[in-house]
Amino acid sequence: MVELEQVLHRVQKPARYTGGEWNVIHKEWDKTAVKVAFAFPDVYEVGMSHLGLQILYHVVNSRRDALMERTFAPWVDMEGVMRRRGLPLFTLESHRPVGDFDILAFTLQYEMTFTNILNMLDLAGIPLRSDQRGPEHPLVIAGGPCAFNPEPLASFIDLFVIGEGEEVFQELLDLYLELGGHRAGRRRFLHRAAGIAGIYVPSLYRVDYRPGGILAGIEPVTGGVPPKVIKRVIRDFDRVPFPVKPLVPFLGVVHDRGMLEVQRGCTRGCRFCQAGVIYRPVREKSPATLLRQAEEIVKHTGYDELSLVSLSTADYSRVQEVVRSMLDRFGGMGVSVSLPSLRVDAFSVALAREVQRVRRASLTFAPEAGTQRLRDVINKGVTEENLMEAVSAAFAAGWPAIKLYFMIGLPTEEEEDLQGIADLARRVLARGRELGVPRNRLRVTVSVSSFVPKSHTPFQWEPQVELEELYRRQRTLRGQLKEKGLVFHWHEAETSFLEAVLARGDRRLDRVLEEAWRLGCRFDGWSECFDFAKWQKAFRTTGLDPAWYAYRRYAYDDLLPWDHIDAGVSRDFLIREHRRAMEGKTTPDCRTGKCPGCGLCPTLEIEPEVLDRAEGVSG
């Protein structure tokens, strides 16, 4: 694209748009039957840190009959240049217009990227709404965590993939080729696709409302369409395709390291955590598989850091064995191993010393709440003693700085819980001093986000705390965390409010999203771009009240906007967990051998995995 070469000098970070990275895959356009553009609705640096992109890029490009290229949301300077010059959204591999592809596949990682999706469609010359597209337009699909409440985007997306995409994406491509592509019959393709397990086609469902905007029904409009879409799950995780020649970006990205997925899923059962539900069950990779993949990644990338990723890496039953083996194998080459997600009860002096043999990375622990009462409400399953043992191990092993992650606005939170956050942070700081960490290096960073109720969790019925009260709680903590050595970070409350609105939203929000985009909303997850006033205007213009979505307390028998999406965990279980939360009762991890009855295993017809933590093996 000659025009691209002429404009790159006008924008920040031109490497965001050039492509050509190490391990990039180029395929012959005219000799490939189906062409897919993978769209990440954020900037290159964020998207290239996403393991799911690397996995699907590998899965699709491993087929002879398909290709996948990448496109990212252009930053505001590049968007301005593109619109002035009439340049369409393009992919990095071939610099072809996205509109030339057969399928445009978005990943939905965060609600605050939704306006970027509309902007990317518009830049590609694709009508925003699916019912306005013809055979000349790509099929627009989407998947990821936010697809578990797809309704706010239902008017813009042709079909959603619910659950894990490695296998279902293959089946979609097979169907596409069998039918000769969607251009030969878009409606026929979508109706057939709805018959694939894990595929949701919004246009094939009717949504009815009662007065006041309360949902009355969500039902298929034609035969052969399931009333509920059950998520897809990879059964044999040890054999799932995994990229050992990942793309290596030229530009510094958020997570610039080799990534190894050691396990998928988490059964700890934190009641606010959507990921802990939608990624169940827990499935581990064997150490032999991980070492083999690590060897290939180091060989093909030159990375000097391997990150063992999962929702809770320290819960991987053989984590110490794998860390030790990797450091023995790669440490002499200057390759370090990092554990980005550590539970405060799964850390030890031995593991701390093992990890720091080559290079010391930062450590983050997530107590989530400041008191044991509230940690029991959310089923965090850790105590202050666990945390102090963990930070003591870290300080003793040579870490001078520790990050603590908390949430405010959790259900039943009281003033004592806020005070508990500050008290806990000060005790951690004092422990560092006791263990001789130099005062000029000792640092405890307290990062606080606001609770956002998410679908398919025990707290999906709970309202979010109102904005003014969130502001007050942030001010309270800011005033209490001013001691030398303490650093306080907090998330914008307005952003969390809108996240709650979209996370709990229904189809009527399509009007708000489109109006917000027309008013100029872009990159709403970026503080320098976020404009709350434009969002407020969009709600006023469309006549919808955002507070109705964020602050509404649902009853157990209310129909929820996402009730036709089945994450495998039963509604009865979520209700029981919500009631136990209100009673301050905890529920054990099912991998310890006591089944809490979530309903997932019978729904998916799988055998539950039981972990022998004493022996460090699973079976």
| Three state DSSP letters for 183-210 | HHCHHHHHHHHCCCCCEECHHHEEEEEC
| Tally of CB atoms within 10 A around 539 | 21
Q: Per-residue pLDDT tens for 332-354? A: 899 988 877 666 765 655 676 67
Predicted TM-score of the model (pTM): 0.95
Mean confidence (pLDDT) of the chain: 92
Are both 2-230 and 362-508+544-566 of the same fold? Answer: no
Q: Tell me, what's the pLDDT at 352? A: 67
**pLDDT band, very low/low/confident/very high, at 370 (cuts 50, 70, 90):** very high
Question: 210-230 burial, b if ≥16 CB within 10 A, otherwise e?
Answer: eeeeebeebebeeeebbeebb
| Mean of pLDDT values over 480-497 | 96
Q: How far is CA 112 from the centre of its chain?
A: 12
Tell the CATH topology of 257-355+588-619: Transcription Regulator spoIIAA (3.30.750)
| Mean of pLDDT values over 432-446 | 95
Give Cβ neighbours of residue 6 (< 8 Å, ≥ 6 apart).
Answer: none
Q: Per-residue pLDDT tens for 284-313? A: 999 999 999 999 999 999 899 999 999 888
Tokens 């942030």 — which residue? 474
Q: What angle do CA 492, 496, 501 make, to 5 degrees?
A: 150
Residue type, 118: L
Tokens 């939704």 — which residue? 114
Q: Tell me, what's the pLDDT at 342? A: 66
Give phi and psi for 29, each to the nearest 5. Answer: -55, -50
Q: What angle do CA 454, 460, 463 make, to 5 degrees?
A: 95
What would the DSSP string read from start to end of 493-527?
Answer: HHHHHHHHHHHT--TTHHHHHHHHHHTT---TTST
Q: Per-residue pLDDT tens for 405-433? A: 999 999 999 999 999 999 999 999 999 99
Residue type, 554: Y
Running DSSP on this structure, what letter comes out for residue 592? G
* Residue-range domain boundaries for the chain: 2-230, 257-355+588-619, 362-508+544-566
**pLDDT band, very low/low/confident/very high, at 615 (cuts 50, 70, 90):** very low
Q: Which CATH class is domain 362-508+544-566?
A: alpha beta
CATH of 2-230, one of 3.30.420.130, 3.20.20.150, 3.40.50.280, 3.40.50.300: 3.40.50.280
Measured CA to CA, the distance from residue 478 to residue 467 in angstroms comes to 16
Q: Tell me, what's the pLDDT at 89? A: 98
* Residue 40: Cβ-neighbour burial (10 angstroms; 0-12, 13-18, 19+): buried
616 has pLDDT over 70: no
- Reported in sequence order, the residue ranges of 121-166 that DSSP labels E, i.e. its strands, are 139-143, 159-161
Please, where are the H alpha helices in 317-369? 319-330, 349-355
**pLDDT band, very low/low/confident/very high, at 613 (cuts 50, 70, 90):** very low
Q: Per-residue pLDDT tens for 522-578? A: 999 999 999 999 999 999 999 999 999 999 999 999 999 999 999 999 999 999 999
